[in-house]
Amino acid sequence: MSLKLDPRTKLYMIFVVSAVVMMSATTPFLWAVRIIMIPIFLLIMEKHYAAAFRFLIFYGTALLLTFKFLSENSEGFLSAFLVGYCGIIVQFMPAMITAWYVVRTTKIGEFVCAMQKMHIPDGITISLAVVMRFFPTIKEEYTAIRDAMKMRGIMLGGGNAAGMIEYRLIPLLFSCVNIGDELSAAAVTRGLGGKVKRTSVQELKMKAADYLLMLLFTAVLVVFVVSKYIR
Amino acid sequence: MMQTIAQINNVTHRYKGAAENSLDGVSLTIKKGETLLLCGASGSGKTSVIRLLNGLIPHYYHGDMTGDVTVNGLDIVETQLYELAGVVGTVFQNPRSQFFSVDTDGEIVFGPENIGLAPKEINARKEIITKQMNLDSLLGRSLFELSGGEKQRIACASEAALLPEIILLDEPSSNLDMEAIKMLHEIICDWKRQGKTIIISEHRLWYLNDIADRVVYMDNGRIAHEWNAKDFTMLSDDETRQLGLHPTSINERYLALLSDKDDTGKCYIDIADGILLKDFYFSYHHKPYILRKNKFSAADGDSLSLCIPKLMLPKGKVTAVIGSNGTGKSTFLRCICGLEKDCTGVIVSKGKEYRKRQRIGFSYMVMQDVNHQLFTDSVEKELLLSMKVKDVKRCHEILDTLGLLEFKDTHPMALSGGQKQRVAIASAIAAGAKLLLFDEPTSGLDFAHMEKVGELLRQLADSGSTVLVSTHDPEFIEQCCDYTLRIKKGRLFSFEERNS
């Protein structure tokens, strides 16, 4: 069974999760809340099993290391390294997983429609939509550039440390600027940016699952705020 | 008397920052329902005419412009771009950069959504278009996984969904193979039957023979010639060559060369002094593994996307790699030059074996989009980057043979497309590669540039390099290739010497 969530719910999820990861958790109870809200189960619902599994292992390992093997008394380089590393993962991974889930499961059409329903100005909506559209393009271009570097034998910068970044970024910027330019030319000839109110064939409706999740996430937010700032 | 639908009146235009005029006193009248073919060399102003008609000039590409343009009764200068959306539709050269969505459905409805049609109406249109253009199998898919031909069909569909009176196509066949061009031909014929006005800018002319009503030849921003369809197809190959155009028809022989044959030809030529490719097996799907990756081998049979047990390439010759899109030509080239790590193939030359990463040093691929291959801020540095031992003198020699010496301090990105390609070739030579691979170097080139690439490949082969080039252009094979290597579904199909 696949669960189709409304993009508005997804955006709300991102908002709550980002807010929560920025408030550092202090008690085991809060940890538990944070782990429950990891949207891994959503990924499973959407049949992204491999991704769900990978995230689970990754996050689980970091969590295990943090609680079992690291404490304030840990010493040595490895522990220092691990504290930093696991700390970051444990702290911010939930937000990353949520974002990954949202980007992977939301069609651009749905997203644009949701933004319109929330009365966000078209300028903002379209820019965000273009950003989403651009991720796969950047990936394609980047792969091609990496291949070219491999062939030239300059993966490590060709004896020039700055080269490692320079040789990747400069061609990437050039081609992205070009593609972006052609892309917007093509979009305006098809009527983007007109004065007419844009319509959408997507039909969005909040379902029971959406309300349920929103409720759950609101509850999480409340628990965090109350236990951290009020109690 | 047919009605005039678009009129360009004495337009002169110069892009912002450009030294020369892109259009120089162009006047053109287009009748309703006619199909007009624009031809001419790259940079002759074809694309600028297209941009005039869809309003991108002057609204998107700024510059100095005089004269006036009227399309369907609208004065282009006074009309906003979005008002033209339902009037003029444009299919661009590169489908990759004209898609706004990431999925096919979203792309088709994108235009109608923009002009604010009711969702019901949009869905109805989508259904009609899907039926008309046979798109059922393409719906609901990611645009990034489609082949070039399929992308172009979606691009056409997304324009058609706006029901424009005038359809402009800017070099639509550049990235297409034979089958896809036939499909495109069908689409254009359909539009013609529906009475649309069609303007096509194109280098490949043969597939438009029965479509175009009128042909306009552009040179240096001017309209230099005009033919009706009949006179144009009568032009001999010599006449078109003088104009720098591709032939207006391709012989049966050519067609046989490129269309999918089913009979297997000879696959192995025994040459004493050749480059032997052994055990090239590869698949994009990994075999399941726990600790060590399983190597691909002939035993994997049908699951392989490339399966070439043994192939002898003649040294110092140009070999054309042919076959339709998505049949493994690029995979083959990528495997040879070692970009696909999981491919275990071995290259043997002069008794020496090149495996894995050594293949990268021995061979070098010039990619279809050369922009990806240029990394530095001057042509000279670009070559020096490729050399293990930095030798400025040798670098200048190479540049000189390729006619690039005068550009040695220029930024590679400031060069023209052909010059960039030559810089990429120069760095391949500088890297000391013996086997040069070209991935469709002629797609989207006009005839003159194509001939130049052909000469260059000949020159490389004559100086001892072995050249392998994948292409869809029969004229190009005719001009410069000694052998043809046909690949189908990743298997060698035939390997023949071209008897000239």
pLDDT tens for A98-139 read 888 888 888 887 888 888 888 888 888 888 888 888 888 888
Query: What is the C-alpha separation between B128 and B160, in angstroms, rounded?
Result: 10
CATH of the domain at B338: 3.40.50.300
Asked if the structure places residue B288 within a domain, the reply is no
B-chain CB neighbours of A167 within 8 Å are 375
8 Å CB contact of B373 and A152: yes
8 Å CB contact of B100 and A190: yes
Query: What is the C-alpha separation between B410 and B293, in angstroms, rounded?
Result: 45
* Same domain as A169, residue A126: yes
Number of H helices, E strands in chain B: 16, 20
- For A205-215, the pLDDT digits (tens) are 888 888 988 89
Residue of A108, A149, A200 with shortest CB distance to B102: A108
Residue of A132, A140, A152 with shortest CB distance to B385: A152
Query: What is the C-alpha separation between B110 and A132, in angstroms, rounded?
Result: 15
* Average pLDDT score, chain A: 81
Residue of A149, A188, A198 with shortest CB distance to B116: A198
- How many separate domains does chain B show? 2
Query: What is the C-alpha separation between A191 and B116, in angstroms, rounded?
Result: 9
Of B228, B255, B282, the position where a domain reaches its end is: B255
Preceding peptide of B314 cis, ω within 30°: no
Q: Cβ distance B179 to B324 under 8 Å?
A: yes
* Same domain as B488, residue B356: yes
A-chain CB neighbours of B56 within 8 Å are 185, 188-189
Q: Give the minimum alpha-carbon distance from A169 to chain B in angstroms, rounded to a whole number.
A: 9
Asked if the structure places residue B304 within a domain, the reply is no
pLDDT value at residue B292: 56
Strands (E), B429-490: 435-439, 466-470, 483-488
Q: Cβ distance A21 to A96 under 8 Å?
A: no
Exposed / middle / buried, residue B397 (Cβ in 10 Å: 0-12, 13-18, 19+): middle
Q: Give the minimum alpha-carbon distance from B262 to chain A in angstroms, rounded to a whole number.
A: 33
C-beta atoms surrounding B279 within 10 Å: 16
Query: What is the C-alpha separation between B422 and B428, in angstroms, rounded?
Result: 10
pLDDT value at residue B294: 63
Q: Please give the structure tokens belonging to residue B253.
A: 């022989």
Residue of B114, B158, B339 with shortest CB distance to A147: B339
Interface TM-score (ipTM) > 0.90: no
Of B255, B272, B291, the position where a domain reaches its end is: B255
- How many separate domains does chain A show? 2
* Average pLDDT score, chain B: 87
8 Å CB contact of A148 and B367: yes
Asked if the structure places residue A18 within a domain, the reply is yes
B-chain CB neighbours of A193 within 8 Å are 81-82
Q: Which residues of chain B have pLDDT under 50?
A: none
C-beta atoms surrounding B461 within 10 Å: 21
Angle at A145 between CA A141 and CA A146, to 5 degrees: 115
* Same domain as A72, residue A130: no
Query: What is the C-alpha separation between B222 and B218, in angstroms, rounded?
Result: 6
8 Å CB contact of B162 and A175: no
How is B17-50 classified by DSSP, letter by letter? T-SS-SEEEEEEEEETT-EEEEE-STTSSHHHHH
Q: Residue A202 is which amino acid? A: Q
Q: Find all residues with CB under 8 Å of B1, minimum gap 6, and list them.
A: none
* Same domain as A58, residue A26: yes
Query: What is the C-alpha separation between B338 and B359, in angstroms, rounded?
Result: 5
Coil, strand, or helix at residue B442? coil
DSSP B288: P
* Same domain as A151, residue A62: no
Asked if the structure places residue B241 within a domain, the reply is yes
Q: Which of B48, B114, B163 to mutate to test the interface with A (most CBs of A within 10 A)?
A: B114
8 Å CB contact of A151 and B364: yes
* Same domain as B238, residue B361: no
8 Å CB contact of A185 and B111: no
8 Å CB contact of A190 and B89: yes
B308 to A65, B49, B114, B349: CA distances (angstroms)? 48, 47, 50, 17
8 Å CB contact of A190 and B360: no
* Same domain as A184, residue A150: yes
- Split at pLDDT 50, 70, 90, the class of A1 is very low
What is the C-alpha radius of gyration for chain B, rounded to an integer number of angstroms?
A: 24
8 Å CB contact of A144 and B122: no
Over 70: is that where the pLDDT of A32 sits?
no
Of B215, B232, B255, the position where a domain reaches its end is: B255
Question: What is the reported pTM?
Answer: 0.84
Q: Residue B42 is which amino acid? A: S
* Same domain as B323, residue B217: no
B-chain CB neighbours of A183 within 8 Å are 97-100
Q: Give the minimum alpha-carbon distance from B123 to chain A in angstroms, rounded to a whole number.
A: 7
* Same domain as B337, residue B216: no
* Same domain as A128, residue A102: no
8 Å CB contact of B372 and A144: yes
8 Å CB contact of B81 and A188: yes
Asked if the structure places residue A102 within a domain, the reply is yes
Q: Cβ distance A30 to A224 under 8 Å?
A: yes
Asked if the structure places residue B279 within a domain, the reply is no
Q: Which of these, B463, B87, B257, lies nearest to A194 by C-alpha position? A: B87
Asked if the structure places residue A195 within a domain, the reply is no
pLDDT value at residue B257: 65
Q: Residue-wise over B424-450: b if at least 16 C-beta within 10 A, else e? A: bbbbbbbbebbbbbbbbbbbbbbbebb
The average pLDDT across A135-156 equals 86
B-chain CB neighbours of A200 within 8 Å are 113, 119
Helix (H) or strand (E) holding B479: helix B474-480
Residue of A152, A188, A194 with shortest CB distance to B60: A188
3-state helix, strand, coil in chain B (%, to 5): 35, 25, 40
Query: What is the C-alpha separation between B411 and B407, in angstroms, rounded?
Result: 8
Q: Find all residues with CB under 8 Å of B378, minimum gap 6, and list them.
A: B408, B409, B410, B411, B412
8 Å CB contact of B372 and A191: no
Enumerate the β-bridge partners of residue B469: B320, B438
Domain that holds residue A161: 119-189
Helix (H) or strand (E) holding B395: helix B392-401
* Same domain as A159, residue A126: yes
8 Å CB contact of B369 and A144: yes
Q: How many CA atoms are closer than 13 Å to the CA of B474, on its beta-carbon side?
A: 18
Residue whose structure tokens are 């429950």: A36
- For A39-51, the pLDDT digits (tens) are 667 777 777 777 7
Asked if the structure places residue A62 within a domain, the reply is yes
Q: Cβ distance B92 to A184 under 8 Å?
A: no
* Same domain as A76, residue A23: yes
Query: What is the C-alpha separation between A65 and B329, in angstroms, rounded?
Result: 48
Rounded to 10 deg, the angle between the A122-152 and A161-189 helix axes is 140
B466 to A194, B88, B350, B419, B437: CA distances (angstroms)? 54, 47, 13, 21, 9
Q: Give the minimum alpha-carbon distance from A111 to chain B in angstroms, rounded to a whole number.
A: 11
Residue of A132, A171, A189 with shortest CB distance to B372: A171
Q: Residue-wise over A21-53: b if at least 16 C-beta within 10 A, else e? A: beeebeeeebeebbeebbbbebbebbebeebbe
Chains A & B: contacts with CB separation below 8 Å: 167
Query: What is the C-alpha separation between B221 and B15, in angstroms, rounded?
Result: 12
Query: What is the C-alpha separation between B347 and B310, in angstroms, rounded?
Result: 10
Q: Cβ distance A65 to A8 under 8 Å?
A: no
Rounded to 10 deg, the angle between the A28-36 and A208-225 helix axes is 160
Coil, strand, or helix at residue B487? strand
Q: Give the minimum alpha-carbon distance from A144 to chain B in angstroms, rounded to a whole number.
A: 7
Strand B35-39, strand B63-71: pairing: unpaired
pLDDT value at residue A105: 82
End-to-end CA separation in angstroms for chain B: 50
* Same domain as B198, residue B93: yes
End-to-end CA separation in angstroms for chain A: 41
A-chain CB neighbours of B82 within 8 Å are 188, 191-196
What is the C-alpha radius of gyration for chain A, rounded to an integer number of angstroms?
A: 22
Q: Please give the structure tokens belonging to residue B375.
A: 């990394």
C-beta atoms surrounding B137 within 10 Å: 8
Asked if the structure places residue A194 within a domain, the reply is no
Exposed / middle / buried, residue B309 (Cβ in 10 Å: 0-12, 13-18, 19+): middle
Query: What is the C-alpha separation between B259 and B369, in angstroms, rounded?
Result: 25
Domain that holds residue B177: 4-255
Phi, psi of B169 (to 5 degrees): -125, 125
Asked if the structure places residue A47 within a domain, the reply is yes
A56 to A36, A41, B420: CA distances (angstroms)? 12, 10, 47
Q: Give the minimum alpha-carbon distance from B116 to chain A in angstroms, rounded to a whole number.
A: 5
8 Å CB contact of A196 and B122: no
Residue of A132, A174, A199 with shortest CB distance to B413: A174
